[in-house]
């Protein structure tokens, strides 16, 4: 990809579904040559998890753009030999097998490191390569549940609420993996030595579950769900319903914003109640609930549009895509027949573009192998043997 900060970096991507593909998506968007390697069976079944143009889901198209596709049977020795040959000149390999699978296949970190000491090998799992749960299956809900995050999501007196954002998969399996990969890549470029990057999605969530930890250290206990200052106890950091059944995100948390908020609403008596707790906070919240319920969301959005006190409407995704802020920043792009998100990073000297649609299974097999030094006869032999 021209102009991308990771141009010249080659990534072998053995992952599928969400965490690994989103990690390699960001690498691809920033210019890395990501080669998506799929098996001869189902391949990445994100393709068919939902309807999309020509039977390929928007999910698959969105998280696999700007990559090339190679089909490879890693259960056969010829397929493993192809991968090892590709790994000799690769910078990064990303996989999401259960611990031990890559070693049993003969493509584990120590084998690849012997061939290419500079390679950065990232293994993304739910619980890491070691520990009593290393071999356990899991999903996002399990990771955030085990890490004490799910326990804190929801309203006072209610059950834990399942978040729509896959916190473990995306914070853990994608963004934490990218952090480790890029740090190891930087060091490999200066030292000549790559690293094994062991990413556990549950640990990534745990390590960012900060405020409950602070409360535990300071007061000896974690607040009940929905009763912490940032989860519902502070009237100045809550969601309030409007007359039309929509909501406003009201967050004038700091005193300076609270005072502007009170002045705008002509409620000077509220100023002294900044940071209230207990019964006083409950009473103030009830007053604010009545106030916001007196007008619809559009009224309040317009009312606060020019007032700098951290009050905004709660939008759905369709509305967010049309919001002037996200439009101005180009966060929605049309590509491959669908609407996709642009990367959440801007850099000088680089303009993001979807330069390649998500690959079909094995779409670029011959192209990739030719670039890696395979002869026409070798490629034909691999195809005839159903290795590629």
Active site residues: 139, 169
| Cβ 278 vs Cβ 227: under 8 Å | no
With CA atoms as reference, report the closest residue to 156 among 238, 227, 249, 241. 227
Give the residues across from 339 on adjacent strands.
334
Burial of 76 (0-12, 13-18, 19+ CB in 10 A): middle
Task: Please list the helix, strand and coil fractions of the chain in percent, rounded to the nearest 5, in that order.
Answer: 45, 15, 45
What's the half-sphere exposure (Cβ side, CA atoms, 13 Å) at 262? 19
User: CA torsion angle for 12, 14, 15, 16 (degrees, to 10)?
Assistant: 120
What is the maximal distance between C-alpha atoms in the chain? 84
Residues with Cβ within 8 Å of 87's Cβ and at least 6 positions away in sequence, in order, are 12, 93, 107, 112, 115, 116, 119
Q: What is the DSSP letter of 181?
A: H
With CA atoms as reference, report the closest residue to 51 among 59, 63, 41. 59
* Rounded Cα distance, 105 and 112, in Å: 12
């Amino acid at each position: 990809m021209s102009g991308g900060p990771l141009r010249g970096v080659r990534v072998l991507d053995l992952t599928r579904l969400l965490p690994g593909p989103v990690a390699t998506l960001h690498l691809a968007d920033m210019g890395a040559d990501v080669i998506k390697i799929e098996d001869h069976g189902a391949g990445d079944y994100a393709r068919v998890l939902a309807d999309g143009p020509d039977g390929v889901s928007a999910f698959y198209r969105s998280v696999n753009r700007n990559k090339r596709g190679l089909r490879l049977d890693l259960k056969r020795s010829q397929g493993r030999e192809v991968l090892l040959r590709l790994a000799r000149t690769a910078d990064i390999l990303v996989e999401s097998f259960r611990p031990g699978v890559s070693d049993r296949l003969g493509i584990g970190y120590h084998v690849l490191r012997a061939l290419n000491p500079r390679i950065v090998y990232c293994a993304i799992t739910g619980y890491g390569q070691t520990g009593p749960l290393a071999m356990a299956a899991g999903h996002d809900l399990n990771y955030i549940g085990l890490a004490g995050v799910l326990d804190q999501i929801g309203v006072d007196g209610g059950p834990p609420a399942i978040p729509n954002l896959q916190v473990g998969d995306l914070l853990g399996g994608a963004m934490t993996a990218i952090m480790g990969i890029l740090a190891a890549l930087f060091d490999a470029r200066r030292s000549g030595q790559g690293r094994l990057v062991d990413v556990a999605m549950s640990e990534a969530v745990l390590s960012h579950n900060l405020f409950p930890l602070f409360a535990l250290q300071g007061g000896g206990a974690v607040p009940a769900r929905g009763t912490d200052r940032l989860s519902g106890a502070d009237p100045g950091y809550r969601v309030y319903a409007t007359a039309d059944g929509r909501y406003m995100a009201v967050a004038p948390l700091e005193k300076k914003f609270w005072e502007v908020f009170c002045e705008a609403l002509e409620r000077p008596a509220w100023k002294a109640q900044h940071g209230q707790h207990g019964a006083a906070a409950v009473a103030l919240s009830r007053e604010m609930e009545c106030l916001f319920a007196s007008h619809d969301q559009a009224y309040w959005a317009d009312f606060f549009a020019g007032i700098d006190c951290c009050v905004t409407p709660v939008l759905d995704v369709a509305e967010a895509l049309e919001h002037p802020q996200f439009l101005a920043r180009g966060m929605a792009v049309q590509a491959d027949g669908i609407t996709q998100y642009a990367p959440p990073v801007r850099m000088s000297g680089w303009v993001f573009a979807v330069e390649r649609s998500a690959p079909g299974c094995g779409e670029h097999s011959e192209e990739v192998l030719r670039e890696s030094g395979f002869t026409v006869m070798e490629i034909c032999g691999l195809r005839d043997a159903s290795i590629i």
